[in-house]
Every structure is written in C-alpha cells, then in structure tokens.
Amino acid sequence: MNRTIRLIAPITGFALALAVAPSPASAQAWPSKPIHIVSPFSTGSTVDLHARLMAGPLSEILGQPVVVENKAGAGGAIGLDAVAKSAPDGYTVGIGTTGPMAINPFLIGSTVPYDPVKSFAPIGQYGIGPNVIVINAEVPAKTLAELIALAKAKPGTISYASSSGIGSTAHLAGELLGSVANIDIVHIPYKGNAEGATALLANQVQMAISGLPPIQAHIQSGRLRALAVTGPSRMAQLPDVPTVRELGMPEIDVTAWYGFIAPAGTPPEVVQKFADALAKTVARAEVKGRFLASGTEPYVTSPAQFAELIAADGKRWAAVIRKANVRAQ
C-alpha cells in the first residue's frame, strides 16, 4: 500500500506542476521573435514604400526585427488572404487598403477569398491618400461648379481618367460626382499614373481624379488646374484648393486609406501593443515627411475606429458599385 502511494505521489505532483505552469506562448511577452509585414502589392508601390519606411522604426520600438514580404497579385487579395490564414499570434500582419478591403469584395464578389470584416483583427489606420479633381487648363472652367455646369450643358463630352482602372477609388469618386451632381461624364481607365497624366496633358481626356504626386508639377506649371480635393481637409501642397466638403458636396469626400491588420483571433493586447507602436512610428518627423512626399497624409486611428471604417466603407462602395452597375474587367 505504502509503496503504491509513494509511486503515485511524485507523478501527481508533476502533473499538477504542468497544470499550473504557463504555456510557452503565454510565458513569452509579445514580441519575442521577428514580425513579418505582408505588403499585398509589388515592390515600389506606395504600400510597399510605406511598409519599408515603417519597418525600421517599428523594429526599434518593439525590440524585434520587422521583415517586409511582398505577396502581390489579384488586386491585393493574395497577400491579404495569406494574412487571414496566418497564425493569430501577432507575428504576421498585413497592410490593408481601400481597394482589397472595401471595394474588391463587392466588385469581384465570391472570388475574393476572405471576408474584410470577419477575417481580420484591425490594428489601426496610419494614413490617407486624398485625390485631386483636376482638369486640363484648356477646359473653360475655373471652379468645380463651372465644370459641372459645362458637363450639364454638353452631356457625355467630358471624360475623366483614373490611373488605377475599373473599381479604383478615383473611378468610383467620378461615379459619385456624376451621381451627386447629376451629370454625364465618361470614365476612361488607364493602367498607371504616367499614362493617365499624359492623356490629360494632351487633352485626350478633360479631367482626372488623381493622387497628387504625378500631377503636382503640372498644376504648378499651369498646364493643369486643380478644382477640389476629395479629402477631409485641404492639402498642405495645395492650400488654395478647396475640399469637396467646403464646396457643399460631402458625398464625394473620398480618400484611399491605409492601415495594419492582423489575422482574426489575434489577442487584443497584442493588437493594442502594435497599435501603440504604430502611432509612435507615424509621429516621427522623418516618417511624416516621407509620407507627405508620396501623397499620403499621416492619419492614425485606434483598432476600434479602423474596424468601423472598414465596415462602413464596404457598405458605401457596395452601394455605389450597385447603383453605377460597375463591373470588373
């Protein structure tokens, strides 16, 4: 009897010790190893530049290497799908943007392999990319109101370029403008900024809705005329150009947005720690300066605010896509 008891007692004590001992995952404070940022667009893209710009400061703040991985394709869906399917431990995060998070799921539909709301744990927004409504200087309009009047007088004769093609924020901003102002303007998609800017400068299209960097020099030279900014505030580079909100058209207040996302199920404390590091990173002067040079305005939100934006923008663009009968090509 006694020998049996002596044999069981050490085993029971060891089992109890295992039961109360913390698991390796919980024993280690996050982060304890390198963090991978998935950039869902190609090397040299705006998102890729953002990721590489922030990797260094994030690494310094979090105390671990931060590695950028490009997983481009399918309009950002390949990279974001990889994030959604990663372990929810905070060591794989991605950059989510308006297109693959709020437009493509409704433009393309079931072929997008993730749910923008359910598949991710939003970490926080870090920037916005306002567009500029700009016209060739030969167009006889000095203001957005005059352009609208011209379009009403000559329906279908004003065409506008978007540099990112069907379903981009620039394209859908034009659809919104046409709907809100009740004008007939024609969308001409281009594959890149250079092609769209060239067509606009040649007056092959009369208008463009574009990010600032590819057109800024032409605005300064007088070859193009900026009429309005489709963002929440005036741009520092264009202080005399009003926002669409100032002009009484808040419905076309449209910006591309950028933010970090983690796989759904990532612990809230890990999400918050990354969000805090992100806010400190974006607050750095060198990061702000590089952002502005790329046409991105620093804009930081909490995880909850970013979650609200993703859900709300998805509903907004789904409605625009249905009303305008926009179809992917």
Least confident range from 89-93, 209-213, 299-303, 307-311: namely 209-213
- Domain 132-252: CATH architecture, name and number where available: 3-Layer(aba) Sandwich (3.40)
Q: What is the pLDDT of residue 17?
A: 42
Question: pTM for the full model?
Answer: 0.84
Least confident range from 139-143, 170-174, 215-219, 238-242: namely 170-174
Collapsed DSSP state (helix, strand, coil) of residue 192: coil
Alpha-carbon torsion 106, 107, 110, 112, what sign?
A: negative
Q: What is the pLDDT of residue 211?
A: 85
Residue 16 has pLDDT above 60, yes or no: no
Residue 160 has pLDDT above 90, yes or no: yes
Mean pLDDT within 219-232: 95
Residue 12 has pLDDT above 80, yes or no: no
CB 282 within 8 A of CB 126: yes
pLDDT digit string, tens, across residues 250-266: 988 888 999 999 999 99
In whole angstroms, what is the distance from residue 98 CA to residue 80 CA?
Answer: 12
Q: What is the pLDDT of residue 194?
A: 79
Domain definitions of the chain by residue range: 34-128+255-324, 132-252
Residue 27 has pLDDT above 80, yes or no: no
Q: What is the pLDDT of residue 166?
A: 80
The beta strand positions in the chain, using DSSP E, are 35-39, 66-70, 92-97, 120-130, 132-136, 158-162, 185-189, 207-210, 224-229, 255-263, 297-298
The CATH classification number of 34-128+255-324 equals 3.40.190.150
Domain 34-128+255-324 matches domain 132-252 at the CATH topology level: yes
